[in-house]
Amino acid sequence: MNETLDAMAQALFKSRFVDFDGIKPEDMCKSEMGLIPKGWDFLPLAEVTSYLSRGLSPKYTGGDGVLVLNQRCIRNNVVDFTTARRHDHGLKKIIGRELQIGDILVNSTGVGTLGRVAQILHLPERTIVDSHVTIVRAASNITSNYLGLNLLRRQEEIEALGEGSTGQTELSRANLGQVRILLPPLEVIKQFDKSTQPLRNRSSSILLENNSLASIRDFLIPKLISGQLQIEDAEKFLESHI
């Protein structure tokens, strides 16, 4: 279901902002990136973001601390919070570095992981990223939903911007900031968001449900196998947690 919802959102994006379905030929004009609707523009990513920066180098702790996302947490276009570690914010402050709903995360180091993109659609708690991940936050002239869908479909292009030797490839803030973003009028973007944001919110909810069910499974199965729980007890546990 998640794959279907994500595919629907991307199909709507392609129809509206790549194929320009519904736009008459006489309403198109030439631009540096090809034909686009009149009144639309292409801007560097740096000009449509309010925040474009790497995370910090964490001071990891085995106890309580702020959740830290790393490159392994960004896979298959989603964020996996279960593999995150924790940072001791008493040793290094995180003021101004906490993630917000809608932030786009871009893996920025290493062959094989550089260029992966995912977007924050929910936050279980205070969370930051480490220095191998770049945070992209939409400015007021664009929306996070539109910008996220734009970057999610351009991961190969972003990967190609990496520089350096094999195994030490880096994606600089300057290079990422030069990615050209199609900028329609804000009212066009907001109208698009009305049809796609609910799809993405539903996808995020399903992912949370899946993670919750996986946690319950991992808790119950060892206890059932060891005999600590009987089937009847497990059923009662499920009834109270689902």
- CATH code of 159's domain: 3.90.220.20
Q: Are residues 156 and 127 in the same domain?
A: yes
Give domain status of residue 26, yes or no. no
Give domain status of residue 232, yes or no. yes
Q: Are residues 119 and 217 in the same domain?
A: no
Is the pLDDT assigned to residue 240 strictly greater than 90? no
Give the residue among 198, 236, 207 at the shortest CA–CA distance from 220.
Answer: 236
- Compute CA distances 65 → 74, 221, 232, whole Å: 20, 29, 37
| pLDDT tens by residue, 22-57 | 999 999 999 988 999 999 999 999 999 999 999 999
Determine the 3-state secondary structure of 75 from DSSP.
Answer: strand
Range of the domain at 136: 38-184
Is the pLDDT assigned to residue 86 strictly greater than 90? yes
Q: Are residues 206 and 177 in the same domain?
A: no
Q: Are 174 and 55 in contact (CB under 8 A)?
A: no
Give domain status of residue 11, yes or no. no
Give domain status of residue 66, yes or no. yes
Q: Are residues 175 and 224 in the same domain?
A: no
Q: Are residues 57 and 117 in the same domain?
A: yes
Q: Are residues 121 and 215 in the same domain?
A: no
| pLDDT tens by residue, 107-117 | 999 888 999 99
| pLDDT tens by residue, 189-239 | 999 999 999 999 998 888 777 777 777 787 778 877 887 777 777 677 667
Q: Are residues 213 and 165 in the same domain?
A: no
Give domain status of residue 193, yes or no. no
Q: Report how many domains make up the chain.
A: 2
Determine the 3-state secondary structure of 59 from DSSP.
Answer: coil
Give domain status of residue 28, yes or no. no
What six digits make up the tokens of 61?
A: 């702790």
Q: Are residues 209 and 130 in the same domain?
A: no
Is the pLDDT assigned to residue 241 strictly greater than 70? no
Give domain status of residue 24, yes or no. no
Q: Are residues 97 and 63 in the same domain?
A: yes
| pLDDT tens by residue, 125-163 | 999 999 999 999 999 999 999 999 999 999 999 999 999
Q: Are 117 and 71 in contact (CB under 8 A)?
A: no
Q: Are 77 and 56 in contact (CB under 8 A)?
A: no
